[in-house]
Amino acid sequence: MTIQIQKCIFDDLCKLQEISVETFTETFKDHNSPESLNAYLERAYNLKQLEKELSDPFSQFFFVYLNDEVAGYLKVNTNDAQSEEKMGDDSLEIERIYIKSKFQGHGLGKYLLTKAVETAMERDKKKVWLGVWEENENAIAFYKKMGFVQTGSHSFYMGDEEQIDFVMTKLLMPER
């Protein structure tokens, strides 16, 4: 089993859109109405939106490959690209971390999470944070196992439907 990680570039835009839609749909289709899911997919993963995110100097996307096949991806944000202003410039946000269902259980989520932490440390960030849907028990358990603790919550909109995400944080360096 060969695992590789690769930073996304503009030439990867269509591949990024494809895996974004596929993994988000796999994860949330059974818990949301088709209308709400489609509204979110059209807003968050259209090519213009993804191109804007790829060009943001404070955002990065990474693909993870298992045996030369794209198995998942990671999006991290720093500074003004973070979805919560109150987190501060000493934070790195994991905005998206998704693995295709057929590749789950191979440690790829841990691999991407480690990449996010390494990226944060390279940029001298003190903490890593993410939002996770309050009903996604498997993901919450995984993040807790990886050293994250719940530090708050915020609203997430699936179409017009408001949902609650837990904000989970992992400190990388002691607060000064």
Q: Which long-range contacts (CB under 8 A, 24 or more apart) does 132-137 make?
A: 132/165, 132/166, 132/168, 133/28, 133/163, 133/164, 133/165, 133/166, 134/163, 134/164, 134/165, 134/166, 135/31, 136/27
Q: Where are the beta strands (DSSP E) in the chain?
A: 3-7, 59-66, 69-78, 91-99, 127-133, 149-158, 161-171
Among 105, 53, 61, smallest CA distance to 83 is for 53
Instruction: Reply yes or no on whether 45 is catalytic.
Output: no
d(CA 33, CA 49): 23
Q: Could you tell me the two tokens for 105?
A: 């259980």
Catalytic residue, from 40, 98, 111, 143: name it.
143
Catalytic sites, residue numbers: 143
